[in-house]
Structure 1
Amino acid sequence: MNNPHPVSSYLQTLRQFSRNARLYLAANIIQGLVFSIYMLFFNLFILARGFEKDFLGLLAAIPSFVGLIFAFPAGAISDRIGRRRAMMLGTLFSALPIAGITLLTDKALMGALFVVFGCARTLNMVSGAPFLMENSTPEERTSLFSASFGLSTLVGFFGNLLGGLLPALFALLLRADPESVPAYQGTLWVVVGLSLLTLIPLALIRQEKRIGPISSASSSFGAAVNASLPFKLIGKLLLPNAIISIGAALLIPYMNVFFKEKFPIPDSVLGAMFSVSSVVVGVATLTSPWLAGRLGKIRALVLTQLLSIPFLLTIGFAPWLGVAMTAFWIRAALMNMGNPLYSAFAMEQVDESARARVSSLMGMGWNIGWSVGPYISGLMQVRVGFGPIFVITAGAYLIGSIIPYAFFAKTDPVPCKTET
């Protein structure tokens, strides 16, 4: 019998996803629109308001710092109330602070709102991976994780394209400058509206059965910490995330600022550039199950992340916009396509009852860098510029990419190829 075409096999797997999984993907697609527009213009809105980069860095660091503290309790909450309710609460209380930020100028109140935003985002984050595990079979799991990440990223093409046009549209309606505060305010209100729209598919999800009765393992933070968990394994899973997060947090939130400063370009061009990035990342991510099927999840992850590093440095030091943009797209695809593979691999290593807590801990590892990185980056940009930041990020990516191979290459052997 001939082997099925990879594309046909992948599409067949997508059709077999459960109703809950498909609704989650629908919500994720909307969130992809939200995230792409938010990431494109939130920094520019804060700077247009007249705040300095050091305050922008502090504001950007707050959600991750909160996530570092709240991740484990969030996992316990997700276990107790169920994934659907947790994700709905997370979505609602992610949208409301963004609305408040557009109306406030007091730094203390803005910081308080971002504390709420950080808690809500963390609740969403720690619920996602366990939900996917609970609503998929082992055969479709890698494809579901890849589809979740890939489709939300792919739809970012439309989010960035739409986002790039929104400030000009609101400027026309409000008779303001396209790079003014009112134009960016209107754009962020679109983000709020789309985020609330995500509640519809989430509400349609059938509440999953609890993994088991709520026990001391998840009923309180202190009890959860003392619960039986494979902490040695978890430490190995967390370490690469923590190291990569340090590099990512220094640079990735400010890519829009970097391009605007080094190559003065209008918002429409910036939006188009990020749109293309979303397409290539989305397509690359959807191909990651194919790559994992030939190399294994860990080898595929390590290979693609290492290949991305030269392109990262090219972005930072290329004197031409065209070269920097092309490197930006390639780097994004290579660095991100392995993310769902690592998430799926991590969830497969632990018992079902521990997945929410392990997901919480992995979120804490990722937030280590993001809790301080954006603030440090803001200070570095003012004093030394972006050059050293690119070098530090490349070093962190190199170390964080090698570690999973050292820890897990033998745990995740190369899949056997069989003739059919």
Structure 2
Amino acid sequence: MLTRESLSRLLHLPRDMKIFLWTDACFGLSIGISNTLLNLHLNALGYGATMLSLVNDVVPMVALILSVPLGHLADRYGRSKTLWLGTLLMALGAVLVPLFLTRLGILFGEVVFAVGQAMIMSTEFAVVAQYMPANDRHFSISLVYANFTLMIGIGALLGGFLPAHLPLFHTLYGSTLLLGGLIFLIAPVGRLFLTPVPSMHKQGEKPAALFERPNRQILTFSIFSFISGLAYGFVGPYLNLIIKNQFHMSVSLIGLLLALNQCALFIGSVSTSWLVERFALQRTIAFLLIIVSLSYASLGFGASFLLFIVLLLIQSMSSMAFFPLLDSTAIDVVRDALRAKMQSYRALFRGVGNVISVYTGGLCLAHHAYGLAFLLTGFIYGGMLIYYLRFIRSQIGNTSSETLGA
């Protein structure tokens, strides 16, 4: 929770971390608007489940193809440059998508957005790790999650409120989506002022091969990320449509519920440091995975609206307390020179999982099999728990030379 010590650390953040957070806030606000409205916008344009599945599969597919090469380029030419270019491309993609009406145009905008996101995924936490001391790493990454989820929540509220008050642009939702993209464009401007993180490639040093065999630690965490990606796509990209179709809610109420869900995610992310201090890292991760698995599985049995909200909020708080721990632990088990590689391989494996689950989730959506989508997610989280207990838990806290190996 937000203790006095946490507030003090928040007030004394380094300048670069403050810039990173407010630019990430622009990112989150735009994503919140898009999460609420993009699927509804595509439906209003006349596109069905096939197109929705294709649009939601673009980002993980691009991550699957580009994450490792982009991580390599970030190490060679600079993580800060890669992060800035990725932010710019994401913002441009967010502007382009609502401008187009055709399938090809919309997918082009999504590809631009996806390339940018792949660049950010390969560099973001490696850059944050450079701006913060090692003993503040769990705190800083949980802070990034908290800030991002809070702004997504505000974006969700705006996504539910603004369409009724802005002029029509292609659909009821187009002008709000375009506004979200324009807000996003503030982020790359702000990130021009970040202190550059030096390249990991030294002058005169032979460049590393584009695809190197990952070491044991990178491979272990990458497989864990694959399972994590597999858990995301059955429900995550389609939650707004599931809520609309299952409970017949208006856009404003969908936005309100998604904002409430983001509030739960925010509470979970700011609770991360407190949970670790109280229960220890290894135990906390296992406990959170149990809660998320049971919550999703319970949602698969046709819960009433009130129970649906309660279970959704419980899993959101638990999952968002868990993910900062996963990211900071993955950063901690390798030395700095390997952090972009760790992030890029994790993005690659997560992309494979996302592509599979987003496609399957689209089939569930097309056949109105919402309960099956939730059950599959709960089952996958149960698999994450077993994998964590077997392969990850023993590595936490191990900072030996073997763990940090090349």
After TM superposition, the score normalised by the length of structure 1 is 0.89
The question of whether the paired residues in 2 share the 8 Å contact of 1:32 and 1:153 is answered with yes
**Contact 1:142–1:344 (CA under 8 A) maintained in structure 2:** yes
Which secondary structure does the structure 2 equivalent of 1:317 belong to?
coil
Contact 2:2–2:270, Cα closer than 8 Å, also in 1: no
Decide which of 56, 70, 76 is 2:72's aligned counterpart: 76
Counterpart check, 1:139 vs 2:135: yes
Q: Provide the C-alpha distance between the structure 1 equivalents of 2:342 and 2:68, rounded to a whole number of angstroms.
A: 9
Alignment of 1:168-317 (within 5 A): 168-170=164-166, 173-174=167-168, 181-213=170-202, 215-218=205-208, 223-226=209-212, 229-230=214-215, 232-317=216-301
Query: Which one is further off, 232-241 or 108-117?
Result: 108-117
Residue 93 of structure 1 is matched in structure 2 by 89
| CA deviations over 1:325-363 (Å, ceiling 9, x no partner) | 121111111112111111111111112111111110011
Distance 1:152 1:383 in 2: 33
- Which 10-residue stretch deviates more, 342-351 or 289-298? 289-298
Cα distance in structure 1, aligned partners of 2:227 and 2:197: 34
C-alpha separation in 2, matches of 1:293 and 1:413: 14
Q: Return the offset for 1:74.
A: 1.0
Between the aligned residues of both structures, percent identity stands at 21
Q: Is the 8 A contact 1:247 1:393 kept in 2?
A: yes
Q: Does structure 1 retain, via aligned residues, the 8 Å contact 2:302–2:371?
A: no
Judge which range, 65-74 or 86-95, deviates more.
Answer: 86-95
Instruction: Please give the TM-score of this superposition, normalised by the length of structure 2.
Output: 0.92
Mean Cα displacement is larger for which, 240-249 or 306-315? 306-315
Give runs of aligned pairs for residues 3-152 of structure 1, distance below 5 A.
Answer: 7-152=3-148
**Distance in structure 2 (CA, Å) of the matches to 1:329 and 1:383:** 25
Question: Contact 1:154/1:280 (CA < 8 Å) preserved in 2?
Answer: no
Q: Does 1:323 align with 2:307?
A: yes
Please give the alpha-carbon distance, in whole angstroms, between the structure 1 residues aligned to 2:120 and 2:107.
20
- Please state how far the C-alpha of 1:299 moved relative to its aligned partner: 2.7
Distance in 1 (CA, whole Å) between partners of 2:249 and 2:392 is: 43
Superimposed CA distance per residue, residues 287-343 of structure 1 (whole angstroms, 9 cap, x where no aligned partner) = 111212233334322211211223223434344222211211111111121111111
**2:350 alignment partner in structure 1:** 366
CA deviation map 1:132-159 (0-9, x unaligned): 1111111111110110011111222321
Deviation track 1:80-115 (CA, whole Å, cap 9, x = no partner) reads: 332332222112211223333223233234333322
Other-structure match for 1:352: 336
State whether residues 23 and 191 of structure 2, in contact with CA within 8 Å, keep that contact through their aligned partners in structure 1: yes
- State how far apart, in whole Å, the 1-side matches of 2:350 and 2:66 are: 13
Q: Deviations over 1:45-78 (max 9, x none)?
A: 1111101101110121012111111001111222
- Provide the alpha-carbon RMSD of the alignment: 2.1
Q: Using the alignment, how far apart are the partners of 2:117 and 2:11 within structure 1?
A: 29
Query: Is the 1:304–1:335 Cα contact (8 Å) retained in structure 2?
Result: yes
Q: Is the 8 A contact 1:67 1:367 kept in 2?
A: yes
Change (3 A) 1:125 1:149: same
Partners of 1:267 and 1:118 in 2: CA distance: 26
By how many angstroms is 1:166 displaced?
1.2
Cα distance in structure 2, aligned partners of 1:397 and 1:319: 19
Structure 1 portions without partners, runs of 5+: 175-179, 415-420
Q: How many angstroms apart in 2 are the aligned matches of 1:351 and 1:207?
A: 19
String of CA shifts for 1:173-224, please: whole Å, max 9, x gaps.
34xxxxx953211011011111101123211112123334164445xxxx13
1:224 aligned partner, one-letter code: L
Secondary structure (helix, strand or coil) at the match of 2:211 reads helix
Residues 266 and 20 of structure 1, relative CA distance in 2, 3 Å threshold: same
Partner SS, residue 121 of structure 1:
helix
- Kept in 1, the 8 Å contact 2:99–2:178? The answer is no
Label 1:190 to 1:216 Cα distance change in 2 as closer, same or farther (>3 A): farther
User: Matches of 1:136 and 1:217 in 2, distance apart?
Assistant: 27
In 2, the alpha carbon distance for the partners of 1:194 and 1:103 equals 15
Write the distance in 2 (CA, Å) between the matches of 1:398 and 1:277.
22
1:72 partner amino acid: V
* Cα distance in 2, alignment partners of residues 74 and 59 from structure 1: 22
Whole-angstrom CA distance in 2 between matches of 1:141 and 1:389: 34
- Whether the 8 Å contact between 2:76 and 2:201 is mirrored in structure 1 is no
Q: CA deviation at 1:375?
A: 2.4
Question: Match of 2:195, as an amino acid?
Answer: R
Distance 2:219 2:324 in 1: 19
Distance 1:408 1:63 in 2: 27
CA distance in structure 2 between the partners assigned to 1:97 and 1:411 by the alignment: 38
CA 1:200 to 1:95, structure 2 compared with 1: closer, same or farther past 3 Å? closer
Q: Deviations over 1:363-392 (max 9, x none)?
A: 112111212322232223223622222211
Structure 1 residue identity aligned to 2:5: S
Per-residue deviation, 1:32: 1.4
Gaps of 5+ in 2: 399-406
Summarize the Cα distance change of 1:358–1:192 in structure 2 as closer, same or farther, 3 Å threshold. same
* Partner Cα distance (1:93, 1:6) in 2: 34
Contact 1:65 / 1:372 at 8 angstroms: preserved in 2? no
Q: How many pairs are equivalent? A: 397
C-alpha contact (below 8 Å) 2:229/2:353 kept by paired residues: yes
Q: Distance in 1 between matches of 2:286 and 2:248?
A: 35
State how far apart, in whole Å, the 2-side matches of 1:184 and 1:316 are. Answer: 30
| 1:418 counterpart residue number | none
